[in-house]
Amino acid sequence: MKKMLLSSRAFINSTITKSFLSLLDPIDYQHDQLVIITNSVREGKSHPKMIGLQKIIQNLGFNNVILFDAFHDAPEILKTAKAIILNGGYEFLLLDNLRQSGTLNLLQHLISSGKPVYGISAGAIVLGPDLALFMKLYPEDNFNHDIDTNAIDATNIRIYPHYDKHIQDNPQLENSIKAFESNTKATITRLRNDQVCFDKRWPVSINLDGRSYRYPDR
């Protein structure tokens, strides 16, 4: 059964943090290996946001947090990881790099086999069916002029991250998303920076601030 978490930002509130920890339950802070895929930015492992995310997770108490380059690091690292994190950046670049390195097919297999995965921003987008919405809204981000927008397709949830921030910057954004939904019959989940989304194929109960939330298997 798939275990998946999607958000716009990582660990900016207790709900997101507790949701991530629930994804990993039971936890062995000393031995669990958490792997952050860094191929959503050209700088890879050296990008400050990748290093920053690694430190944040280490500060949660995990001793073994690895930055992973799909082109240079052994695939076995992903296979033995307790969980895989797809960090934010550029969704088209991330998808290209996962394809070219052969990592995309491996991720599909691992996620289908129950490997926990956490997608953040671009990572959450690429875990979905395709990048068609972003091809429509932001064609300039498609650096390599890809025609095939099919993504990992580990979930049928199509995320638009940072919706609350972007709608302030571009008041026409909602009309553009609605037009896409109307033309494609797809549903877009508009995710605020403070929200977290579970793939509903993962049934889980989480206790957040003393309240229990049930995400049913559908």
What would the pLDDT profile of 118-140 be if each residue is shown by its tens digit? 999 999 999 999 999 999 999 99
Tens-digit pLDDT profile for residues 195-208: 998 865 544 444 44
164 contact partners, CB below 8 Å, separation of at least 6 = 192, 193, 194
Domains of the chain: 4-215 (3.40.50.880)
Contact (CB, 8 A) for 175 and 183: no
Contact (CB, 8 A) for 153 and 201: no
The predicted structure's pLDDT at residue 202: 46
Cis preceding linkage at 26, omega within 30:
yes
